[in-house]
Structure 1
Amino acid sequence: MFPSLSLADAVPGDVIITLGEDLTEAEKEKILKEMNAPENPQIVIVTNKEEHEYLGNYIPKAKIGNKALSSASITIGEEGSGLEIETTDYIKTITDGMYVNALITAGVKDAKVYVTAPGNVSGTAALTGIIKAYELSSDEAIPEDVKQAANEEMVETTKLGEKFGAEDAAALMAKIKDEIANNAPKNDEELRKIIESAANDLGITLSDTDIQRLMDLFNKLMDLNIDWSQVGDQLNLAKEKISNFLDSEEGQGFLAKLKEFFVNIINAIVDFFKSLFS
């Protein structure tokens, strides 16, 4: 039995776990162990019905599936600590950047989130669960239209990711939101310029259809009761975390290993072609 929920008094350091309703008992235990969950964690159960309620307007039913399996661990952070996401290789559709963007839009902030599953899944149950858990932890209801918009944003980012790559699509969304937070467009012409400029900075060529879809989405977001200054603050904190990691000893070690990996690949290719002509 999981403890009853009383999350409104959650404080920094508290851990909330979201579990897909269709996990077996063995899968639940394995995931809790993987998350290093505390002995009596607060648990939020996510149903497949909730996935369809939040995402059914944007994703084909077949893609959502009929089971809620992806799960998440949310560690409440200190105020101003920002949002940090880590996903395992089992999460195949929603990337770290997509989670960050959608959650910031929904108003989720200052938390460390770990997302996993017992096998390959899209990750939609975890997104639904994180938003649900955050509402319970803060005792502050996220307006239904804001939650719907956050999910719609995630779906639109996924579509762009299929064309331009998941990381570039997430970066594009973040860049547009950052600009809106700093210089809110007064009309469609200014919004279009923001979108086109962000895409150009990232080397992305958007079609007229892509631009119109993005304009429709961001016009909808700007019509909602979203705190854009908070959106900008959370995006800046996320960028700061990445920058600090790359500047750290651990980050430099990671980059060195990455460089060595590509050098080895290039050397192997060169050796291969040399062998053809020797």
Structure 2
Amino acid sequence: MRNWNKMLLGLLTAVLIASVPAAAFADAVEGEITVTLGEDLSEEERSNLLEEMDVSEDVEIVTVTNEEEHDYLGEYMDASDIGSRALSSSKITAGEEGEGINVETNNITKVTEGIYANTLVTAGVEDADVYVTAPFDVSGTAALTGIIKAYEAQNDIDIPEEQKKVANEEMVKTSELGERIGMEEATELITRIKEEIGNQPVESEEDLRDLIERIANEMGIELTDEEMDGLVSLFDRMKDLNIDWNQVQDQISHIRDNLDEFLNREDTQSFIASFLDFINELIDSLRSWFGEGSESNQ
């Protein structure tokens, strides 16, 4: 039942991500669009991605290089995993202030929508509707570089380099942890740690380690020594940055509010009930089928 609940929550989250209204950048004009394209896309790939994003060549386009990807990810990933070509691309749309961060992906195999949203909050991005894509299946780890670069261009600001690197480190560590314990669980763990730090900032590394261990235990997650050390190092760097933790909490709150609102809608509950009825009928059919099969083989 616990595994089924996780599967159902994952399904509902995916549906929510596709239905949450467009979000906003704090200083951008509502509806403003910025596109990032990997420098190594072929002309055909570039044209296809622009068509997929439903934008023209006239839109503001920011180019991302493979050198930039290595610069931000080189400390946390092997060069071979980063690759030698910049292909990941994205579309960022500004919307109404206060809607939180909404992410949708296509052809991205390693980084989930939740991980992108969480790391963008760390980087200082607010209220953004983000679409991440590539011409074929890619890990997606390099896309964060372009999204942050586009946010800077759209808002005419410079995000501190250390903050960008911490956001990239968070993305890598969360996705690696997620490969072992599940992406949903890893994302929720990082989110809850951020919420706790926002509520009551920690002063020492020992306090930070205790906080992470407590939250992991509450979630039933057993971290390895290497994973614990990695998270302590990450959040120790993060707490030393000039991060507006009130803003972090606000963005996380919007994401949670959107999920609660979606789950409590009458049509959503009706859908869930119908879906569960369908699953129960399917299970009964399978039970009957397997039962008949086992009797015939005895």
Name the structure 2 match of 1:50: 68
Name the structure 1 match of 2:31: 13
8 Å contact 1:178–1:232 — kept in the other structure?
Answer: yes
Write the distance in 1 (CA, Å) between the matches of 2:275 and 2:202.
Answer: 40
Does the C-alpha gap of structure 1 residues 60 and 257 become closer, same or farther in structure 2, counting only changes over 3 Å?
farther
- SS for the counterpart of 1:124 is coil
Structure 1: runs of 5+ lacking an equivalent: 1-7
8 Å contact 1:17–1:72 — kept in the other structure?
Answer: yes
Name the structure 1 match of 2:180: 163
Name the structure 1 match of 2:149: 132
8 Å contact 1:47–1:125 — kept in the other structure?
Answer: no
Name the structure 2 match of 1:5: none
Structure 1 range deviating more: 118-127 or 137-146: 118-127
Does the C-alpha gap of structure 1 residues 214 and 254 become closer, same or farther in structure 2, counting only changes over 3 Å?
farther
Per-residue displacement from partner, 1:156-192 (whole Å, max 9, x unpaired)? 1112112101111111111101111111122233322
Residue type matched to 2:55 in 1? A
Does the C-alpha gap of structure 1 residues 58 and 262 become closer, same or farther in structure 2, counting only changes over 3 Å?
farther
Aligned partner (choices 77, 82, 94) of residue 95 of structure 2 = 77
Write the distance in 1 (CA, Å) between the matches of 2:50 and 2:264.
Answer: 32
Write the distance in 2 (CA, Å) between the matches of 1:222 and 1:9.
Answer: 25
Identity of aligned residues (%): 50
Name the structure 2 match of 1:4: none
Structure 1 range deviating more: 32-41 or 105-114: 32-41
Residue type matched to 1:16 in 2? T
Write the distance in 2 (CA, Å) between the matches of 1:257 and 1:38.
Answer: 41
Output aligned runs, 1:33-112, within 5 Å.
33-37=51-55, 40-88=58-106, 90-112=107-129
Output aligned runs, 1:174-189, within 5 Å.
174-189=191-206
Write the distance in 2 (CA, Å) between the matches of 1:229 and 1:126.
Answer: 26
RMSD over aligned CA atoms reads 2.2
Write the distance in 2 (CA, Å) between the matches of 1:109 and 1:203.
Answer: 31
Structure 1 range deviating more: 93-102 or 266-275: 266-275
Per-residue displacement from partner, 1:48-107 (whole Å, max 9, x unpaired)? 11111110111111111111112111011222221111112x101111111011110000
Does residue 32 (structure 1) correspond to residue 47 (structure 2)? The answer is: no
Write the distance in 1 (CA, Å) between the matches of 2:192 and 2:69.
Answer: 27
Runs of 4+ in 1 over 6 A off after TM superposition: none
- SS for the counterpart of 1:85 is strand
Write the distance in 2 (CA, Å) between the matches of 1:268 and 1:30.
Answer: 44
- SS for the counterpart of 2:142 is helix
8 Å contact 1:16–1:44 — kept in the other structure?
Answer: yes
Aligned partner (choices 205, 228, 237) of residue 245 of structure 2 = 228
Cα deviation for residue 265 of structure 1 reads: 5.2
8 Å contact 1:71–1:125 — kept in the other structure?
Answer: no
Tell me the TM-score normalized by structure 1.
0.90
Aligned length in residues: 271
8 Å contact 2:50–2:57 — kept in the other structure?
Answer: no
Write the distance in 1 (CA, Å) between the matches of 2:143 and 2:268.
Answer: 28
8 Å contact 2:141–2:172 — kept in the other structure?
Answer: no
Tell me the TM-score normalized by structure 2.
0.84
Residue type matched to 2:39 in 1? E
